[in-house]
């Protein structure tokens, strides 16, 4: 099963640089988890919309994801093996964290992870130096690992 990677943000406008809003991220998170555990597209989209409607007025800010993850656990725990659900949640949360990275870090990391590009290929394609590309990639990995350890410690 393949999914499109996290959205790469266009550099055209300031609003595009901010990335997706909370409701878009929440929909992507719930939908991705449902698809990873084997639910059909239509029922995944219905569940995502249902959870969003239920919590849209209460879930705001940085902790909103915890609300959605709890709702996913409640709805899918009886239907899906715990290990599969946990793996799907981790993958979806990682993709969500990638959307929060600054655009250049997200581009560098996505190019390596999703496209299999080398640092030299990314540098050539973007016009950045290889040192700058390596620093962006390293910063993205450090940021993601710090957020992961903060998530696990909660």
Query: Model confidence over 1-60: pLDDT tens digits?
Result: 334 444 333 343 444 445 567 778 888 999 999 999 999 999 999 999 998 888 765 555
Residue that wins the pLDDT comparison between 92 and 60: 92
**Residue carrying the six token digits 């290929």:** 121
End position of a domain, from candidates 80, 100, 120: 100
| Domain extent at residue 39 | 1-100
Q: Which of 11-25, 43-57, 85-99, 140-154 has the highest mean pLDDT?
A: 85-99
- In the 8-state DSSP scheme, what is residue 127? -
- Same-domain status, 33 and 88: yes
- Same-domain status, 38 and 96: yes
- List pLDDT tens digits, range 102-137: 999 999 999 998 889 999 999 999 999 999 999 999
- Same-domain status, 78 and 131: no
> How many C-beta atoms surround the C-beta of residue 63 within 10 A?
9
How many domains are there within the chain? 2
């Amino acid at each position: 099963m393949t999914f499109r990677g996290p959205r790469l943000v266009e550099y055209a406008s300031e609003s595009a640089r901010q990335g997706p809003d909370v409701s878009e991220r929440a929909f992507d998170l719930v939908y991705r988890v449902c698809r990873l555990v084997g639910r059909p597209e239509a029922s995944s989209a219905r569940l995502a919309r249902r959870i969003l409607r239920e919590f849209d007025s209460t879930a705001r800010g940085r902790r909103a994801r915890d609300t959605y993850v709890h709702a996913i656990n409640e709805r899918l725990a009886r239907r899906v093996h715990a290990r599969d659900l946990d793996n799907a949640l981790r993958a979806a949360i990682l993709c969500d964290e990638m959307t929060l990275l600054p655009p250049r870090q997200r581009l560098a990391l996505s190019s390596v992870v999703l496209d299999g590009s080398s640092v030299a290929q990314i540098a050539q394609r973007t016009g950045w130096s290889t040192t700058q590309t390596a620093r962006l990639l390293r910063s993205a990995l450090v940021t993601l690992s710090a957020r992961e350890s903060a998530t696990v410690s909660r």
